[in-house]
Amino acid sequence: MTDSTLDAKLEDQTEPKSILKKDDTKKKRTRIVWDEDNLATNESEKSATMKIDEPDTPFNPAKYDDEGEENGTTSGKKLAWDKLEEALSKAKEQEEVAGEELPPTKDEVRKVDFEKHRKEHYQEFLTKKMLEDQTQQMEDISQQTKDE
């Protein structure tokens, strides 16, 4: 290509669009125009109240006293609670008896093994210190025997 055609192509190209916003404060802002006729129609057709199709809440006023507490139902709840506690204790007893007979599962074995290794890991420092103390004592004893 020649320099003249290259210059012509560069002149033909428009400036690339900027990613920054331009300052539009110089432009006259347009005003919002409301459709007054449509607003008047909507106002005239608007209903004053809204009907809610919802069933009433079932409430038995005879069941409650003046303070809002239930009358005479605590004994029934207490009996039901006692039955639940008895059933729970029986289930725990059966689980304990059944748990003694079953061998541990793979997950339980892995968990116990992991806990054992973790304890050993955290005790390595103490083990190292204990071994260093023992070697020091052995050296002291051997030193004393050589001196005698």
| Phi, psi for residue 59 in degrees, rounded to 5 | -140, 125
The pTM assigned to this predicted structure is 0.23
Going by pLDDT thresholds of 50, 70 and 90, the confidence category of residue 113 is: very high
Going by pLDDT thresholds of 50, 70 and 90, the confidence category of residue 101 is: low
30-39, 42-51, 126-135 — which is least confidently predicted? 42-51
- Residue percentage of the chain with pLDDT more than 90: 12
Question: Same domain, yes or no, for 111 and 146?
Answer: yes
Question: Same domain, yes or no, for 95 and 116?
Answer: no
The CA distance from 114 to 4, in Å, is 80
Positive or negative: CA dihedral 94, 100, 103, 106: positive
Q: Please indicate, yes or no, if residue 130 is contained in any of the structural domains.
A: yes
Q: Please indicate, yes or no, if residue 85 is contained in any of the structural domains.
A: yes
Q: Please indicate, yes or no, if residue 62 is contained in any of the structural domains.
A: no
Arithmetic mean of pLDDT, 94-113: 79
Domain holding 128, by residue range, is: 104-148
- Please check the confidence at residue 107 and state whether its pLDDT lies above 80: yes
Going by pLDDT thresholds of 50, 70 and 90, the confidence category of residue 114 is: very high
DSSP 99-148: HHHSPPPHHHHHHHHHHHHHHHHHTHHHHHHHHHHHHHHHHHHHHHHHH-
The one-letter amino acid at 19: I
Residues in the chain: 148
As a whole number, the mean pLDDT across the chain is 76
The CA distance from 91 to 93, in Å, is 5
